[in-house]
Amino acid sequence: MSKALEIKNKIHALIEEYHKEMFKEKAFVPGESSVPVSGKVFDHKEMQYIADSGMDAWFTTGRFNTEFEKKLAKYINVKSVLTVNSGSSANLVAFSALTAHELGDRAIKPGDEVITVAASFPTTINPMLQYGVVPVFLDINIPSYEMDVAHLEKAVSPKTKAVMMAHTLGNTFDLGAVKAFCDKYKLWLIEDCCDALGARYNGKHVGTFGDIGTLSFYPAHHITMGEGGAVFTSNAKLKKIMESFRDWGRDCWCETGKDNTCGKRFTQQLGDLPYGYDHKYTYSRQGFNLKITDMQAALGLAQLEKLDSFVETRRHNFRMLTEVLAKHTDKIILPQATPNSDPSWFGYLITVKKEAGITRDQLTQKLNEKKINTRLLFAGDIRKQPYFSDYEYRVVGDLPNTETVMNDTFWIGVTPMINDEMIEYMGRCFDEILK
């Protein structure tokens, strides 16, 4: 054993010891301990991976990122995964790719339309606005909280180029209907899977039905890098375009630290540049620098090893919450999975009925007083957000369920941080409040 390896092993042992001492599991005290909606779940393994990355002294994207992209692609069953620095960046890169000149008549241009839902997170919609594209909003169903596909045909127009929306809180939208619709009209489909890693529809991972899928690795999500995200696809052309947008917009696709992979670094004439201009400094599009550090990838790699157990715990917690809350369906609507889906639940959505004798805000206030954390469904109705007043959009119908979500819906956690004791406590609190 080399001296360096011997030292590394000692560091690993110390990290494990430190983790045991620093992050001791605390007993749950009902009414005093907080019941979280989300948060990071980790052990000494993540800390060891981070240390290994630091000891490489590479710092930017490197070997850990390469391995993470490869293993995640295998897990999802796609050809390519590209990491980015957030889920928001993932959506930006995915949408930007569909504006590329290489796509010809199918490229999305200012004034074109993209079908989506208003009950959304802002960064699913924002790339459309940034490119001067018009969102077309459809209503959602309750209790799936996914797009009402019955109105898809009413949404299409000669300007429609794509469908882009999220799988809400780990449930899946009706991929059968949406994919058939996109195929019929030759539309792009971007699946925002930021809340749904591990979810399946008809046995296939979400994100594999559309042209591009996106993920977030913020601490609230199924696995975390701290900050981070990914785009994924099996379309080689789209992969190359997304890689360019992520990496400054450059035409060169050499990995960090490598040169002249194409063998044409100084033998091309591109744009109005002189012949032989360094391909490494040739830019095909207005891009960004959205790469992650290798330390983030190392953390993600350790998390990926735990993903299946995380997903199963979330499903278990969802089932148990349904059991303890089933007696209150006269006052609250419980969430349901989309037919043909196997969700990877991110949260547990609850809608308070008008006849409940209590409002959503009153219920969440009482739950928070009992240390049960709650969240609203992100933007509610994105159209009503302060920043949205200056943007053009189109609406199909009146969006009554979106209105209901904005006023009457909230969610509680199913994170692996929650155990059976916490769920039983939540059940008792609902019993007390809704009696």
Strand partners, 113: 134, 160
Kindly name the residue from 44, 221, 279, 328 that is annotated as catalytic. 221
Q: Strand pairing of 332-333 and 212-216?
A: unpaired
Token pair 């993932």: residue: 90
Report yes or no: 338 and 144 within 8 Å, Cβ to Cβ: yes
Alpha helices in 305-359 (DSSP H): 307-325
Q: Is 44 annotated as catalytic?
A: no
* 128's tokens: 């459309």
The structure tokens listed for 424 are 């039983």
Report the distance separating Cα 346 and Cα 414, nearest Å. 7
Q: What are phi and psi of 20, to 5 degrees?
A: -60, -40
Please tell me the distance from the alpha carbon of residue 221 to that of residue 229, in angstroms, as a whole number. 10
Its sign, for the CA torsion 95, 101, 106, 107, is positive
Distance CA 272, CA 243 (A): 23
Q: Record the tokens describing residue 91, joined without a space.
A: 């959506």
What does the block give as tokens for 19?
Answer: 């983790």
Annotated catalytic sites, by residue?
221
